[in-house]
């Protein structure tokens, strides 16, 4: 029997995030430059079979949850086939997809038929002009239509991920919350993190969880922390006092959850990462292409033993990752 996936601080890892592409069809300012960008050559991107093979090896070590990310994962051809393969892997209990939803409407039926149910949809605003400012694309109507299609097909739970930036989309907090309540969708506000790789992030732009909660309580009344929350989950969840839904916060800056982290990451070009903010990576692409499952197992364990205690955002010790968010995987 395999020993559990523990790091040197005793944290158990059962959650794998897989980026299937570093390409994206929008250009959010906090993730990508307006023009250009460096992408991995096509021959360096893992094939769907290689990704599924890695997930299978990881499942044998105790990985139980898989999240498919990008870039924008839906620009990857035949993604539904990969999801079907991953869902079928013995030991995998939960598969989810993070997407900006531009292509979701057209692919939702195939994804649903492949067995996918859980969706996290990236949406920072319901204001069309602000959406254009953030993403540099005028595609808000298509995103909202895709959400309706996904709900009509029966996807659930669906969560909306909104990056909150002070001075930019503060006014979207309440409309987003109302939108989620009306549709039975949990909105999760994400504190602005230094992942743009353009040096745009500044701590004064971080809209903290406590600041957002203050606005929400002024609008909706008491909000209560959800009981029995999974302490290893990235989001802190609250239920509205009237019982109509819940809301979440990923407070990576103001309330880091590193001590409870249970995630490892595989980039689209076959690099293993123990943290979103890691400054080092371990290459497993060659092992995958050699069919060396034992070597992959060893690499996963060795990578975890290098895992640090936490990212230290906002301190003098923080070093931003050498790759931008779209190249790492959401």
What is the secondary structure of 143-161 as a DSSP string? Answer: HHHHHHHHHHHT--SEEEE
Confidence at residue 201, expressed as pLDDT on a 0 to 100 scale = 64
Confidence at residue 87, expressed as pLDDT on a 0 to 100 scale = 98
Average pLDDT per 10 consecutive residues for the chain, totaling 330 residues:
89 97 92 83 97 98 97 97 98 98 98 98 97 96 98 97 90 97 96 68 82 95 87 86 93 82 96 91 97 97 93 75 82
CA dihedral 274, 194, 237, 260 (to 10 degrees): 30
Angle, nearest 10°, between helix axes 104-113 and 79-87? 30
CA dihedral 124, 129, 132, 134 (to 10 degrees): -40
Which helix (DSSP H) or strand (DSSP E) does residue 37 occupy? none
pTM over 0.85: yes
Confidence at residue 199, expressed as pLDDT on a 0 to 100 scale = 64
Chain length of the chain? 330
159 near 120, Cβ under 8 Å? Answer: yes
Confidence at residue 194, expressed as pLDDT on a 0 to 100 scale = 66
For the stretch 22-56, what's the b/e string if a residue is b when 16 or more beta carbons lie within 10 angstroms of its beta carbon? bbbebbbbbbbeeeebebbeeeebbebebbbbbbb
Burial of 170 (0-12, 13-18, 19+ CB in 10 A): middle
Query: What does the block give as tokens for 110?
Result: 């195939």
**Domain positions in the chain:** 15-328
3-class DSSP string for 302-324: HHHHCCCCCCCCCCCCCCCCCCC
208 near 252, Cβ under 8 Å? Answer: no
Confidence at residue 45, expressed as pLDDT on a 0 to 100 scale = 98
* Residue with token string 């900006």: 100
- Superfamily per CATH, domain 15-328: Aldolase class I (3.20.20.70)
User: 3-class DSSP state for residue 140?
Assistant: helix
> 271-273 and 65-69 as β-strands: parallel, antiparallel, unpaired?
unpaired
């Amino acid at each position: 029997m395999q020993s559990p996936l523990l790091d040197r601080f005793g944290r158990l890892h059962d959650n794998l995030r897989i980026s299937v592409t570093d390409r994206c069809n929008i250009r959010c300012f906090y993730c990508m430059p307006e023009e250009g960008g460096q992408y991995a050559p096509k021959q360096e991107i893992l094939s769907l079979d290689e990704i599924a093979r890695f997930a299978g090896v990881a499942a044998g070590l105790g990985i139980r949850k898989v999240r498919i990310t990008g870039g924008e994962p839906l620009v990857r051809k035949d993604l539904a086939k990969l999801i079907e393969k991953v869902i079928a892997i013995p030991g995998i209990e939960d598969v989810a997809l993070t997407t900006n939803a531009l292509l979701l409407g057209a692919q939702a039926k195939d994804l649903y038929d492949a067995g996918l149910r859980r969706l996290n949809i990236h949406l920072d605003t319901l204001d069309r002009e602000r959406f254009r400012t953030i993403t540099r694309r005028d595609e808000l109507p298509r995103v909202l239509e895709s959400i309706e299609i996904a709900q009509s097909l029966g996807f659930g739970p669906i969560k909306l991920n909104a990056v909150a930036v002070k001075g930019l989309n503060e006014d979207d907090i309440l409309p987003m919350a109302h939108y989620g309540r009306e549709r039975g969708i949990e909105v999760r506000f994400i504190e602005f993190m230094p992942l743009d790789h353009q040096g745009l992030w500044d701590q004064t732009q971080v809209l903290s969880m406590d600041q957002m909660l203050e606005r929400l309580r002024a609008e909706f009344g008491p909000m209560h922390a959800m009981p029995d929350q999974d302490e290893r989950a990235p989001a802190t969840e609250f239920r509205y006092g009237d019982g109509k839904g819940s809301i979440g916060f990923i407070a990576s800056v103001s309330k880091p959850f590193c001590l409870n982290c249970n995630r490892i990451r595989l980039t689209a070009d076959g690099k293993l990462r123990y943290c979103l903010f890691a400054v080092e990576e371990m290459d497993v692409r060659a092992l995958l292409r050699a069919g060396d499952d034992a070597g992959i197992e060893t690499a996963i364990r060795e990578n975890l033993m290098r895992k640090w205690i936490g990212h230290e955002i906002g301190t003098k010790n923080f070093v931003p990752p050498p790759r931008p968010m779209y190249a790492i995987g959401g």
